[in-house]
Amino acid sequence: MLLSVIIPCRNEERLIEKCIFSIQHFEVPDGLQIEILIIDGLSDDNTRKILGNIIKVDSRIRLVDNPRKFSVYAFNLGIAEAKGELIMRLDAHSIYPPNYLKDLYTTWCDIKADCVGGVIETLPGDESFSAKLVQGITTHQFGVGNSSFRTTGEHGYKDTVPFGFFHREVFRKFGKYNELLKRGEDYEFSSRIRNGGGKIWQNGNVIIKYFNQPSLFTFYKKQFTQEAPYNVYMWYLAPYTFAFRHSFPGLFAAGVLGGIIVSFFFKILFLIFISVMALYGLMALFSAVQQALRYRTVLFIPILPFCFLGFHLAYGFGIITGLIKILLHISPVQKKQ
């Protein structure tokens, strides 16, 4: 049986060689062969040169151009180009252990779920303190909520898993990724599977080393301009994806802004607002202490609480921005309809 590994890619010169190297060293189960499809969004750094050198010595690898650049197009293009009956979607930002393929394949054979996946071990994008702060934010429940594939190694049925291992029949049954969603397309697809009666299973022993944003500023910018607004666009296009917990940062940001405004006019509301923010501050400080002990970084204690706040506000105001664009009918997903 043939397995097609699909890897969307654009300007990944820093990690692409390590990513491919880890895939080349997968333990391949008996009776299984693999092809590796790199779906490149016309990279303009050294990514294509690096890939060209790798392809020369490994005939299993194919480079496919993605002129529309975004990863959602890459996934669908990869599915169309893939020759295998089994499909595994991977990420160029990540490094995979040798047992990754074998364990997911065994899990898929045993569980018979429509999609199986592992968990993410989030690593800093580089050696800077800024990158470590991003790691501190994204590996604690206070930062990212109950995103179990980021914070725990549980086994069981989940609402989504990172990347994914599928039989091609899943795409015949549930369709491909929604190309109106340049972000959140994986969660929408997972929701479509579950909404259609399918199952998604997480194997907590399958660990992906994922390298996060190397800069706190670029991390916040991505949350505000991409991740959060597209969460709203996803709710608009696919209401079955809505979960109250995903909207909480938007409610928090609106509450902070509203609390600041009304505090000027009503003393009782000022006291309530201060009390709520004090409670938030204590929770943020407690979480920062936990992360400081976890990563042995004492500077997390005074700095990370403010970073949590910055993340929640960036994401929250991103949600509000997305809602405003939907209401004004100027969102990118509406322009294309």
Q: Which helix H or strand E contains 203, and what residues bound it?
A: strand 200-211
Q: Residue 274 above 60 pLDDT?
A: yes
Domain(s) of CATH 3.90.550.10: residues in the chain: 2-212
pLDDT tens profile 108-131: 999 989 999 999 888 998 899 999
DSSP 28: P
The residue behind tokens 């969660």 is: 187
Which pLDDT tens digit goes with each residue over 241-267? 998 888 899 999 999 999 999 888 888
Q: What percent of the chain has pLDDT over 90?
A: 80
Burial 289-301 (b: 16+ CB within 10 A, else e): ebbbeeeebeebe
Q: What is the DSSP string of 84-143?
A: -SEEEE--TTEE--TTHHHHHHHHHHHH--SEEEEEEEEE-SSSSHHHHHHHHHHTSHHH
Report in angstroms the alpha-carbon separations of 239 from 42, 125, 145, 231, 242: 33, 34, 21, 11, 6
153 compared with 268, residue with greater pLDDT: 268
- The model's pLDDT over 152-197, given as tens digits with 9 standing for 90+, comes to 667 889 888 988 899 999 999 999 999 999 999 999 999 999 999 9
Sequence-distant (6+) residues with CB within 8 A of 114 are 166, 167, 170, 174, 193, 198, 199, 200
**Residues 99-110: tens digit of each pLDDT:** 999 999 999 999
pLDDT at 146 over 90: no
Distances (CA, A) of 161 to 64, 68, 174: 25, 25, 17
Between 151 and 278, the higher pLDDT residue: 278
Query: Rounded to whole angstroms, how far apart are CA atoms 46 and 44?
Result: 7
Nearest C-alpha neighbor of 117 from the set 138, 103, 97? 103
Greater pLDDT, 265 or 55: 55
pLDDT value at residue 197: 93
Q: Is the pLDDT of residue 149 over 60?
A: no
Exposure on the CB side of residue 53, measured as CA atoms within 13 A: 8
- Residues 49-71: what's their mean pLDDT? 94
Confidence of residue 148 (pLDDT cuts 50, 70, 90): low
Of 144-153, 232-241, 315-324, the poorest mean pLDDT is in 144-153
The Cα angle at residue 71 between residues 328 and 125, in degrees rounded to 5: 105
Report whether 50 contacts 16 (CB < 8 A): yes
Pairing mode, if any, of strands 164-167 and 156-157? unpaired
DSSP assignment letter at 66: -
Dist. CA 86–CA 105, nearest whole Å: 9
Instruction: Name the residue among 291, 310, 309, 314 with its Cα closest to residue 301.
Output: 291
CATH class of domain segment(s) 2-212: alpha beta
